[in-house]
Structure 1
């Protein structure tokens, strides 16, 4: 049994500036690291989180997937993901945390940022190495955001919102260019995105590809071919991956029993859940929890 419950941080808990603490944190990354040294341990965010590295090395983990850190890298996280880092040497860059309602006062479509590929909650699609020419433009936008925070001018928050949207659009263009180079039709990616969003909303109840295919008004064979073509995985694997990820997240909570987790994920019984987890994670739920606890306490 794990000894600790993985912490979940809110913007209010991390912010020093009361004027913006409910909606935004924007800082140079070294200052953020110095202020929040405990964040290298695995933790969750209740907010959106992005970091742009201009200097540094080491590694970070997002939802139990490890990524090497290098200059020119930007990563994006959505609320609820598990995160930790182990940096090597001097770090530099920018960090922005913003609430899930941050853009609601500016944009009529409250789901607007969901369109960006890097905000889909998939770790592999949320860490990008930016081209050198884009890095310069992105750096300038981060500097403008920091200047807005420091100057506290009229309409500061709306100016920051528009600057952040510029960052999102520029990075999304990089991702779209990569997609086009793979010569996969754009509408296939949009369909896959809709599939992933449906999984996010329904993975505890709907576990069969044919159920999602019906919601997308396509055949199960079409859905499976789409997933194979774009992600080199079957539709069933993508659904199972999301269930497995949530199981791992829940297992970091020391207050939940294996039986409670099985119930929350809508498994028929504890035994079926344990067999599922061992088959696809390569370890029993108990062993995974012990290994996480060992890593967390070393």
Structure 2
């Protein structure tokens, strides 16, 4: 794991004087080991020289630190879809109890923010807790359903006194199995602007989701491979249909299907065009509608003006970049179409109350 941009003060705070000298001895090239041993022995013998020697040791530490594997990166990692069982099947289901036991073996990485490149559906069968999605906290209880899209940043809560089911799958899994309609509907089912990611038990009513999740887990763990993938696909399709029915009842005020389609296209254009323009008029032009029409649609679906929606979208994307990369403020300035860093920082602070650096520091606490 490569360590990037570790400041001296941070290294002093995190690593004890014992760890640093040992790391230097282990990682230094052979010709330098003798010199390092001499310097380290002086470090412990002559306290008056500790300040100078500490700087030297930290410089050596930074020089060879990219060979270390015990350093925790500040950046939020990207998590790719991977599993040992049926690796060719980009689909997995497990109980939350199993997930909690797995957490003990992966240094509690699940409670830290991470970006996923697959879709997740979580059903809570008992207990309660919380889950963070794109830095927003959602409190859940038994009977609730949580939907998390690819490219979102999430974190599991510390409370493990709950159980249920976790489904993971990729868009490729749907496309491979000819579920193009389901693939196209992902942008609607997992759209946090149209629907909240947490569907409460009171909204779900009597959809009998627990039995479907139980059947799916049984099939996934069934040693009989004949028609396994087809059965899993059909069960997933049933869950999609039930989620769609739940969401339909969730927002009966939006009856104009065409508006939802336009809004989905708008989000897609925004995703790929944000580095070119933040001008709402330009996006309306791309969609072949007037600014006024786009603004009406946006307000109806999100309760935000189209300009405010664009600003919120940009702020969230900036937060993701700050949380997952070491990209400089200057680079972010031009990536999001600002003419200079000062304007970029003002924009971010106006919408979050923090500067980009303050936001990044807040994540480290």
Match of 2:219? 148
Q: Which structure is richer in relative contact order (CA contacts within 8 A, separation 6 or more)?
A: 1
Aligned length: 288
**Structure 1 range deviating more: 101-110 or 146-155:** 101-110
| CA distance, structure 1, for counterparts of residue 196 and residue 272 of structure 2 | 19
Asked if 2 retains the 8 angstrom alpha-carbon contact of 1:5 and 1:253, the reply is yes
Greater shift in the superposed pair: 118-127 or 188-197: 118-127
Report the CA distance between 1:177 and its aligned residue. 1.8
* Bigger mean CA offset, 195-204 vs 92-101: 195-204
| 1:233 Cα deviation from its structure 2 partner | 0.5
Query: Conserved in 1, the CA contact under 8 Å of 2:174 and 2:182?
Result: no
Which residue of 83, 88, 99 maps to 1:32?
99
Structure 1 or 2: larger strand share?
1
2:303 to 197, 220, 232: 232
Q: Please give the alpha-carbon distance, in whole angstroms, between the structure 1 residues aligned to 2:118 and 2:282.
A: 31
- Distance across 1 between alignment mates of 2:333 and 2:130: 32
Q: Is the 8 A contact 2:187 2:264 kept in 1?
A: no
C-alpha distance after superposition, 1:119-167 (max 9, x if no partner): 2354963221242311x2x112111211111114212122212211110
Taking the aligned partners of 2:353 and 2:244, their CA distance within structure 1 comes to 34
Matching residue within 227, 241, 244 for 2:312 = 241
2-side partners of 1:23 and 1:128: how far apart? 25
* Pairing 1:32-51 to 2, within 5 Å after superposition: 32-36=99-103, 37-51=108-122
The reply on whether 1:132 has 2:199 as its aligned counterpart is: no
The Cα shift of 1:204 comes to 2.1
* 8 Å Cα contact 1:4/1:254 also seen in 2: no
1:171 maps to 243
Matches within 5 A, 1:246-261: 246-253=317-324, 255-261=326-332
Counterpart for residue 195 of structure 1: 266
| Paired residue secondary structure (1:27) | strand
Counterpart contact for 2:92–2:220, Cα < 8 Å? no
Whether the 8 Å contact between 2:171 and 2:183 is mirrored in structure 1 is no
Alignment match, 1:273: 344
Change in Cα spacing, 1:32 to 1:50, as seen in structure 2 (3 Å) is: same
Distance 1:62 1:202, change over 3 A: same
Tell me, in whole angstroms, the C-alpha distance in 2 between the residues paired with 1:22 and 1:42: 26
* 1:220 Cα deviation from its structure 2 partner: 0.5
- 8 Å Cα contact 1:203/1:242 also seen in 2: no
Three-state SS of the structure 1 residue aligned to 2:173 is: coil
Offset, 1:247 = 0.4
Are 2:194 and 2:301, in contact at CA under 8 Å, matched by a contact in 1? no
Quick one: structure 1 residues 218 and 123, their matched pair in 2 at CA, closer, same or farther if it must change by over 3 Å? closer
Q: Distance in 2 between matches of 1:119 and 1:162?
A: 19
Contact 1:117 1:125 in 2 (8 A): no
One of 241, 250, 256 as aligned partner of 1:185: 256
CA displacement at 1:178 relative to structure 2: 2.1
Q: Distance in 1 between matches of 2:216 and 2:169?
A: 13
8 Å CA contact 2:278, 2:337 repeated in 1: no
Partner residue of 2:283?
212
Gaps of 5+ in 1: none
In structure 2, the CA distance between the partners of 1:268 and 1:68, relative to structure 1 (3 Å rule), is same
CA distance in 2, matches of 1:123, 1:173: 14
Three-state SS of the structure 1 residue aligned to 2:159 is strand
From the CA coordinates, give the structure whose radius of gyration is larger. 2
Q: Please say if residues 26 and 95 of structure 1, whose CA atoms lie closer than 8 Å, have aligned partners that are also in contact.
A: yes
The structure-2 alpha-carbon separation of the partners of 1:34 and 1:21, relative to structure 1 and needing over 3 Å to count, comes to: farther
